Chains A and B, each alone.
Chain A
Amino acid sequence: MQLTLEFGGGLELLCDSVKVHDVKVDGGDEKKMSMKNLLHWVRTNLIKERPEMFMKGDTVRPGILVLVNDCDWELSGQLETVLEDKDVIVFISTLHGG
């Protein structure tokens, strides 16, 4: 399955300062993948440092907004969101500066 993963708001620093990653992930037997599995895939394959700045427990740490196809993942089932081929997933840290 082909996915585009984007990191912003400083989260890109955790993956060698690369913001956009076009990746192929294997959802196992089924052709689909849940956000829960994707998070673990990202943590294992993309996060190069300070994983605690990305995840806390089974989900993203507080202060990170997750968007699936430009839509808050709260609206699609959060960890249970089922991803499809060519989906775009954005992880963005909330900013406080000004």
Chain B
Amino acid sequence: MASSDGAVDDASRIRREIEALKNERSDIDRQISDLETQLRGLQSKTEVVHNDGLAAHGLSPDLIYRHSRHLMLPSFGVQGQSKLSKSSVLVVGAGGLGSPALLYLAACGLGKIGIVDHDVVELNNLHRQVIHSEEYIGSPKVESAAAACLKINSTVLITKHQEALRTTNALDIVSKYDIVIDATDNAPSRYLINDCCVVLGKPLVSGAAIGMEGQLTVYNYKGGPCYRCLFPLPPPTTACQRCSDSGVLGVVPGIIGCLQALEAIKIASSVGEPLSGRMLLLDSLSTKIRIVKIRGRSSQCEVCGENSFFTPQHFKGFDYEKFTQTPLSVAPVKLSLLTPDFRITAKEYKQRIVQGEAHVLVDVRPEHHFKIVSLPNALNIPLTMIEQRVGDISSALKEKQPNSSGSSPHLYVVCRRGNDSQRAVQLLHKLGFVAARDIIGGIESWAREVDPKFPTY
């Protein structure tokens, strides 16, 4: 006992020390970043003086050396680089798509980069959000991303917008940049960013990735279509998958994010043909890349069409969450479909196990989720299979039936977060299992309230 207490004390002491050191480090980072900003101010003043002796492109000797491989490209050259250095790009979302996009944008010699993100870095982001590292877990993504960009290139001007893009701040933020990269992960943000870009006349480089697939196109570029020309109506909410729910192979958003940086660089430097009026579809499983021709600007489009009068005022008043029936924030939805009589907490369920209560626990997550981790003795019947496998539930209950004429065994349902379990209980009630109940908050609340060592994902 004594030695394990000692270990616990040691662990909490070490944690406190780590915390204190992290705080010191972020103080030092802030001081460094302030000094660098000052230094950049001074340098740009001295550069003006030296420029008298240089060519008209205005690139300093340092910048010529840094970007020499760009300058030697006949199709890019001094002209492309010079345009790039006077251009600015806003990246909305410093996640799986934004990470590689930002790294390349920081490296390429853009004048100004803006980063919008309200989130903090989490351990389960790192497999795909390669701009962040372990030391930044718990810190804002904009801080982590800006620090990584400045490590590559201390001459680029980075503006951190640590907030979600909303109708209240979007016009103000987006108007400060020439090009916008949509690297977000949800439908309302995609409509919001599109409309804002149309109102302000900014080209929009739009990328998306989920599972093993990715998509890329450029909207609102020189009379080309906007997002709404293609998708005037939002898809049903059940068709919108997020990486946090559906999974994604890390390198897939990486590829799309790199292509987003490429398209932004082409637009900023006026080099090549941006992917407007065309869409790139990546299927990484079969390594197939398709580039398809999409419709042009639609005259009927509600925001960019000939007869549309979508003004900044309309934009500010538009309810994107209502339009798409999806919240802008990443926080998972918490449904409340059942009355409290049909729900128990994870702690209560634990008590019932300890008391040896006869029961059956049905886990309604998909099979590949169940394989990651599950509660003891749980029976896996995915939500979509319940009706087909009613017989399995009945026989499991029968097996638990005590020999005496005691009360019949209880039926509990669990899922990941406590939404599907409620849907399942509603269905089970209809199918005749009138006493079925769900565990509030799913296995995530089990991990939080009962067993902190229980893995979450």
Interface residues of A, Cβ cutoff 8 Å to B: 8-10, 19, 49, 52-53, 61-65, 67, 70-72, 74-75, 90, 92-98
Q: List 13 A-B contacts (CB under 8 A).
A: A9-B215, A62-B234, A63-B231, A64-B235, A65-B294, A71-B293, A72-B292, A90-B281, A94-B230, A95-B213, A96-B186, A96-B190, A97-B96
Give residues 383-430 of B contacting A (CB, 8 Å): 384
Known: A9-B215, A53-B238, A70-B290. A98 touches B295 (CB 8 A): no
Whether the Cβ atoms of B253 and A98 lie closer than 8 Å is yes
Whether the Cβ atoms of B235 and A93 lie closer than 8 Å is yes
Report A-chain residues with C-beta under 8 Å of the C-beta of B281: 8, 90, 92
Report A-chain residues with C-beta under 8 Å of the C-beta of B286: 19
Whether the Cβ atoms of A96 and B241 lie closer than 8 Å is yes
Q: B248 contacts the other chain (Cβ, under 8 Å)?
A: yes
Whether the Cβ atoms of B246 and A65 lie closer than 8 Å is no
Once the chains are docked, how many angstroms separate the CA of A7 from the CA of B156? 42
Which residue of the partner chain B has the closest CB to A92? B281
Q: B233 contacts the other chain (Cβ, under 8 Å)?
A: yes
Whether the Cβ atoms of B210 and A63 lie closer than 8 Å is no
Option from B210, B234, B279, B290 in Cβ contact (under 8 Å) with A97: B210
Whether the Cβ atoms of A65 and B207 lie closer than 8 Å is no
Could you mark each residue 273-295 of chain B with 1 if its beta carbon is under 8 Å from any beta carbon of chain A, else 0? Answer: 00000010101001000111111
Report A-chain residues with C-beta under 8 Å of the C-beta of B232: 62
Whether the Cβ atoms of A10 and B239 lie closer than 8 Å is yes
Once the chains are docked, how many angstroms separate the CA of A67 from the CA of B238? 23
Known: A53-B236, A53-B238, A61-B236. A94 touches B215 (CB 8 A): yes
Whether the Cβ atoms of B231 and A98 lie closer than 8 Å is no
Once the chains are docked, how many angstroms separate the CA of A10 from the CA of B239? 8
Report A-chain residues with C-beta under 8 Å of the C-beta of B214: 95
Could you mark each residue 209-243 of chain B with 1 if its beta carbon is under 8 Å from any beta carbon of chain A, else 0? Answer: 11101110000000000000011111110111111
Which residue of the partner chain A has the closest CB to B93? A98
Once the chains are docked, how many angstroms separate the CA of A94 from the CA of B207? 10
Whether the Cβ atoms of B208 and A95 lie closer than 8 Å is yes
Report A-chain residues with C-beta under 8 Å of the C-beta of B230: 65, 94
Whether the Cβ atoms of B240 and A96 lie closer than 8 Å is yes
Once the chains are docked, how many angstroms separate the CA of A8 from the CA of B233? 19
Q: B195 contacts the other chain (Cβ, under 8 Å)?
A: no
Interface residues of B, Cβ cutoff 8 Å to A: 93, 95-98, 183-187, 190, 207-211, 213-215, 230-236, 238-243, 246, 248, 253, 256, 279, 281, 283, 286, 290-295, 384
Report B-chain residues with C-beta under 8 Å of the C-beta of A95: 208-210, 213-215, 241
Chain A's nearest CB lies how many Å from the CB of B286?
A: 8
Whether the Cβ atoms of B295 and A72 lie closer than 8 Å is yes
Whether the Cβ atoms of A75 and B295 lie closer than 8 Å is yes
Report A-chain residues with C-beta under 8 Å of the C-beta of B240: 96
Whether the Cβ atoms of B95 and A61 lie closer than 8 Å is no
Since A70-B291, A94-B215, A96-B187 are in contact, a sample of 14 more A-B pairs with Cβ atoms closer than 8 Å, ordered by chain A residue number, is A53-B238, A61-B235, A62-B231, A62-B236, A63-B233, A93-B239, A94-B235, A95-B214, A95-B215, A96-B208, A96-B210, A96-B241, A97-B96, A98-B93
Report B-chain residues with C-beta under 8 Å of the C-beta of A10: 210-211, 239, 241
Whether the Cβ atoms of B231 and A94 lie closer than 8 Å is yes
Whether the Cβ atoms of B208 and A97 lie closer than 8 Å is yes
Which residue of the partner chain A has the closest CB to B257? A98
Once the chains are docked, how many angstroms separate the CA of A67 from the CA of B292? 8
Once the chains are docked, how many angstroms separate the CA of A90 from the CA of B283? 13
Report A-chain residues with C-beta under 8 Å of the C-beta of B290: 70, 90
Once the chains are docked, how many angstroms separate the CA of A74 from the CA of B232? 13
Which residue of the partner chain B has the closest CB to A95? B208
Report B-chain residues with C-beta under 8 Å of the C-beta of A74: 294-295
Once the chains are docked, how many angstroms separate the CA of A32 from the CA of B22? 69
Whether the Cβ atoms of A96 and B211 lie closer than 8 Å is no
Which residue of the partner chain B has the closest CB to A63? B235
Once the chains are docked, how many angstroms separate the CA of A74 from the CA of B208? 22
Report A-chain residues with C-beta under 8 Å of the C-beta of B184: 96, 98
Which residue of the partner chain A has the closest CB to B295? A74
Which residue of the partner chain B has the closest CB to A49? B384
Whether the Cβ atoms of A72 and B293 lie closer than 8 Å is yes
Report B-chain residues with C-beta under 8 Å of the C-beta of A8: 213, 281, 283
Whether the Cβ atoms of A96 and B185 lie closer than 8 Å is yes
Chain A's nearest CB lies how many Å from the CB of B103?
A: 15
Whether the Cβ atoms of B292 and A98 lie closer than 8 Å is no
Which residue of the partner chain A has the closest CB to B279? A65
Report A-chain residues with C-beta under 8 Å of the C-beta of B236: 52-53, 61-63
Report B-chain residues with C-beta under 8 Å of the C-beta of A93: 235, 239
Once the chains are docked, how many angstroms separate the CA of A62 from the CA of B228? 11
Whether the Cβ atoms of A98 and B209 lie closer than 8 Å is yes
Report B-chain residues with C-beta under 8 Å of the C-beta of A96: 184-187, 190, 208, 210, 240-242
Whether the Cβ atoms of B293 and A75 lie closer than 8 Å is yes
**Chain A to chain B: the 4 pairs with minimum beta-carbon distance, closest first:** A63-B235, A97-B210, A62-B233, A95-B208
Whether the Cβ atoms of A71 and B292 lie closer than 8 Å is yes
Report B-chain residues with C-beta under 8 Å of the C-beta of A90: 281, 290, 292
